[in-house]
Structure 1
Amino acid sequence: MEYMNTASTGDGESEPRWLSDDEQRVWRAYLHATMLFEDHLDRQLQRDAGMPHVYYGLLVQLSQSPHRRKRMTELAIGAKITRSRLSHAIARLEKNGWVRREDCPSDKRGQNAVLTDAGFEVLKAAAPAHVEAVRQALFDRLTPEQVGQLGEIMRIMSDALQPQESGADLPWLR
């Protein structure tokens, strides 16, 4: 369908702003590429490090936090996952000895996740193959100009999609 301007139908309803053929091609290419990329990274990490991509991301977040410690709520926000999914992931990481939970001293209801020395070693061992997978799938295929353009496009999208209100109904706040 052609791109259509939003126009009033007289009954308070607006016509959808349909995507043009070019926009539709870009949208589908974006969806296809992001799904393939996420799957590629997930398979690489499962094969080489025995963990899914989301677990790797949690370990990275913890490794970059002061004292390798972060509140569970903040960890969920950073990973963009529900607290329930985070709790399940942390339980698996605890079982592996890579993370431990601690009560939060400033909030009796809160908990911190802490990256253990063993978890930090697993992350250090997994990082080289992971960064190579990212490099081969993305950066090695783009020119420096394209990398800059992609970065700018992603920043624009992130800025527009970042929730501004604190009361937003976001899955990672549930």
Structure 2
Amino acid sequence: MDPKHLFDDPRLTAVGLLYEAHDGLLAQLEQSWKSNGLSGLDLNALLRLSRSPGRKLRMTDLAVQTNLSTSGVTRLVDRLERNGFVRREADPGDRRSSYAVLTAAGATRVARVLPAYLELVDRWFTGLLGPERLEQLTAGLRIIRDATRPEATQITE
């Protein structure tokens, strides 16, 4: 390919826009979790737990869903546990495994963050697209996520 045209490749535009949109969106949403004493990673983990059956996930599943190593998720859960937002629960069927479980205090903190967070999500993301475009984008993102991170959709039973 001619080097002059290489830099005009529309694939570079598409992936570049994705990076820029991601960074811009996080910058807009950040105030909602920071003003409630959380990091983005804290909120991500608490939201994943709050939306999971029984409000709990195996530590290994939480690691995958948050894109953390096992030691990284251990440090995250340690911090959330110190703040009273999560507790650990042994897996009765597998002594090597444990669950991170959302506590009442964790659910209360998420409920406190969500109104402002969702308002910002609507202002800077979903509300900019309209229902049809949002549905198409969500479907497209799911395809990309499933292809690039299939482990993120597999929950251990």
Q: TM (normalized to structure 1)?
A: 0.75
Aligned equivalents of 1:27, 1:79: Cα separation in 2: 21
Aligned length: 149
Question: 2:131 matched to which residue of 1?
Answer: 144
> Deviation string for 1:112-140 (max 9, x for gaps)?
11111111111111111111111111112
From 4, 16, 38, the counterpart of 2:26:
38
How far does residue 44 in structure 1 lie from its aligned partner after superposition? 2.5
Asked whether the equivalents of residues 32 and 113 of structure 2 are also in contact (C-alpha less than 8 Å), the reply is: no
For residues 138 and 80 of structure 1, do their structure 2 counterparts lie closer, same or farther at Cα, with a shift above 3 Å needed? same
Which of 122, 127, 147 is the aligned partner of 2:114?
Answer: 127
1:28 aligns with 2:16: yes
Could you tell me how far 1:105 is from its partner in structure 2?
A: 1.4
Q: Which has the higher helix share?
A: 2
State how far apart, in whole Å, the 1-side matches of 2:52 and 2:13 are: 40
Q: Write out per-residue CA displacement over residues 8-49 of structure 1, whole angstroms, 9 at most, x where no aligned residue.
A: xxxxxxxxxx564333222222211111212332332112x2
Q: What are structure 1's unaligned runs of at least 5 residues?
A: 4-17, 165-174
Larger RCO (alpha carbons 8 Å, 6+ apart): 2
What corresponds to 1:50 in structure 2? 37
Distance in structure 2 (CA, Å) of the matches to 1:82 and 1:39? 24
